[in-house]
Structure 1
């Protein structure tokens, strides 16, 4: 149980670095390049997911699986499902009667999706660790 908790803490720390990447890319794409907010959100998510895969593989799970292509494909599949959940939560929170701001909704969505990502990656992507 301690090992699982430690992995979740590491996963969360990696997630914080991903959060910074995600928000920076999203902000640049949405505010500076004036791209659609959902496309900008998706760009931020993809950059963060790629960074997080590399950090989680080497640090969180200390995984030595030589089949990185298959493993990365699994990670990205989970991240894409997370992206769908992320965008759905943002849509629901921004377009309701109380109209939460985009960035607050994004923060809520990330908090929920991190739990999905950890459980799915722990049980599916990094099963050999």
Structure 2
């Protein structure tokens, strides 16, 4: 199936190809591993070392982002970009924006929808997952056409 828009043809089946679906599943798996790392690091620093909860949270977030970047680079997107630091900074920026979007979604859903925090958080996670995957696939890990 194709749609034409100003002489540009968009193939719907490209977005749902087996490789894209596999990539999306891998992205989700890595995201879940990041969630575990984030919670584990945060818990360790907050509960065992007695650090401030916000500092512990930042350390957990940083560890998860770093872990997720490298797994996405080598497994999810099989990317061999030579400018690793520049690529990591793109990934970090997408992640920080995603964190902001997540917080904004939770706040908005709770204020306007009067839903519980965890329902709002679940909806926010789904929405931000779409943001994170799309931006990282199209910008951070985009393969250079030669």
TM range (shorter): 0.7 to 0.9
Residue of 83, 89, 97 corresponding to 1:81: 97
Structure with more relative contact order (C-alpha pairs < 8 Å, separation 6 or more):
1
Greater per-residue helix proportion? 1
Q: CA deviation at 1:100?
A: 1.9
Q: CA deviation at 1:107?
A: 3.8
Give the unaligned 5+ runs of structure 2. Answer: 1-16
2:13 aligns to what? none
Q: Structure 2 vs 1, CA of residues 42 and 109 (structure 1 numbering), >3 Å: closer, same or farther? A: farther
Greater per-residue strand proportion? 2
Residue of 20, 27, 30 corresponding to 2:36: 20
Q: Structure 2 vs 1, CA of residues 26 and 100 (structure 1 numbering), >3 Å: closer, same or farther? A: farther
1:116 aligns to what? 131
Choose 103-112 or 78-87, whichever is displaced more. Answer: 103-112
TM-score (norm 1): 0.78
* Bigger Cα Rg: 2
Q: CA deviation at 1:98?
A: 3.8
TM-score (norm 2): 0.70
Give RMSD over aligned pairs: 2.8
